[in-house]
Amino acid sequence: MIPIAKPMLGEEEAAAAHAAVLSGWVSQGPQVAAFEADFAAFVDAPHACAVSNCTTALHLALLGMGIGEGDEVITVSHSFIAGANAIRQCGAVPIFVDIEAGGYNIDPERVVQAITPKTRAILCVHQIGMPCDLTALQMIAQKRGLALIEDAACAVGSEIRMMGDWQRIGRAHGDVVCFSFHPRKVITTGEGGMLTTRHAALDAKFRLWRQHGMSVSDTQRHAASDVVFEDYPVPGYNYRMTDIQAAVGRVQLTRLPEIVARRRAIGDDYRELLAEVPGITLPQEPVWAKSNWQSFAVTLDAEVDQRDLMQTLLDEGVTTRRGVMCMHLEQAMRDVPRRHRLMQSETARDHTVLLPLYAQMTQSEVEQVAESLGRAMRSRTRHIRTEPLRLSVAS
């Protein structure tokens, strides 16, 4: 069985976790601080703050931008439900807009149409690793005085060309960027998240809030030569990352360039192997974006039954996932106001299939996926090829 994803973990991560356990410091401590510094350097951000997961990162990002009761945050329905949950945790209202035609990211034109006097922020999602049009979103946010928060849960290692330079997602082109280190993502700490920002004052807030609002951190108190009593000037949360997780994350970060390079190579292989398969449309990168290919999504022609195709592939040993969920169709979001049509989002959910992709994937596995998909699609379409699908990639 070929899985949809597989974390790339090995003896180095195990040794790092082992060392953290034996150090006697397993909660948030020196390894977390080192991971933050390593991550900030990697994405070229002034500040990085580690937290327990990306959902808590989104919550703190929204709080940091002053989002509160009755405010509106423009975002997509076409994303994991954590984004809207975080907005609602702040007492704010998610306003869902559609994604762009031919892609999976927020449509800047729809953002402009959705702005009202209650709008306070834009929460964009770099969906399945493909960067959003940050140039357009930045201009909208600056012109309208809105916060711009990037949900980069899937986008560690992705790049975007801005002002003539290639820059990594996480440089905080908006106000705050939120990352996930869930096992489904490109690098993992088991669970975990990170916030990056250009604003020192925001970073200080995140660090205060993540540890119950405690004025003095554990590391500061333990390192002090005099007795220190902490106080709690503001309400806070337990959103800390552990040193065990951070130790693993530091090793994972060193692997990231290799992992992304391999994922991009697999994406290129898929595009070549599937180029002439009927009934599907392959994903494309805008000229200004480089995806980490956290997921490889193929769009099915309207007459192809998504579930039936996925079952056929599963029966052949190929695991897939359907297109990204639409939050507005879930019971938990039925009370969220629906002001805008979300046809592109619903079409993407119901007519997209995510193929297996992970750094350890062998060439034979890539070819098996392509062969199974090609065979399944040819049996479902009228446009049957007369020659066999080529299942080798030129070196």
Are 93 and 20 within one domain?
A: yes
Does residue 115 lie in a domain region? yes
CATH of the domain at 328: 3.90.1150.10
Instruction: Map residue 151 onto helix, strand or coil.
Output: strand
Residue 159: the pLDDT is 98
Same domain, 331 and 237: no
Task: Specify if 344 maps to a domain.
Answer: yes
Mean pLDDT of 32-60: 98
Q: Does residue 216 share a domain with residue 92?
A: yes
> Which of 253, 286, 318 is the C-terminal boundary of a domain?
253
User: Do both 262 and 241 map to the same domain?
Assistant: no
Do residues 157 and 299 share a domain?
Answer: no
User: Does residue 112 sit in the same domain as residue 153?
Assistant: yes
Evaluate if residue 384 carries a pLDDT over 70: no
Are residues 177 and 42 part of one domain? Answer: yes
Are 156 and 287 in a shared domain? no
Pairwise CA distance, residues 251 & 6, whole Å: 17
Q: Which of 237, 253, 269 is the last residue of a domain?
A: 253
Strands in 321-322's sheet, in edge-to-edge order, are 280-281, 296-300, 352-355, 321-322
Q: What is the CATH number of the domain that holds 216?
A: 3.40.640.10
DSSP E strand boundaries for the chain: 47-51, 72-76, 93-97, 119-125, 147-151, 159-162, 165-168, 176-180, 193-197, 280-281, 289-290, 296-300, 321-322, 352-355
- Residues 220 and 318 grouped into a single domain: no
**Domain range holding 160?**
11-253
> What is d(CA 342, CA 76) in angstroms, rounded to the nearest whole number?
9
Same domain flag for 71 and 183: yes
Residue-level pLDDT at 386: 41
Looking at the structure of the chain, the number of domains it has is 2
Whether residue 148 sits in one domain with residue 19: yes
Last residue of a domain, one of 253, 283, 305: 253
Rounded to two decimals, the pTM is 0.92
Looking at the domain assignment, is residue 142 inside a domain?
A: yes
For residues 368 and 354, state if they share a domain: yes
Neighbours of 299 (CB within 10 A): 20
Within its chain, how far is the Cα of 297 from the centroid?
A: 14
Percentage of residues in the chain with pLDDT exceeding 90?
A: 88
Average pLDDT, the chain: 94
pLDDT tens-digit readout, 232-273:
888 999 999 999 999 999 999 999 999 999 999 999 999 999
* 53: confidence class by pLDDT, cuts 50, 70, 90: very high
Give the sheet arrangement for strand 193-197, strand by strand: 47-51, 193-197, 176-180, 147-151, 119-125, 72-76, 93-97
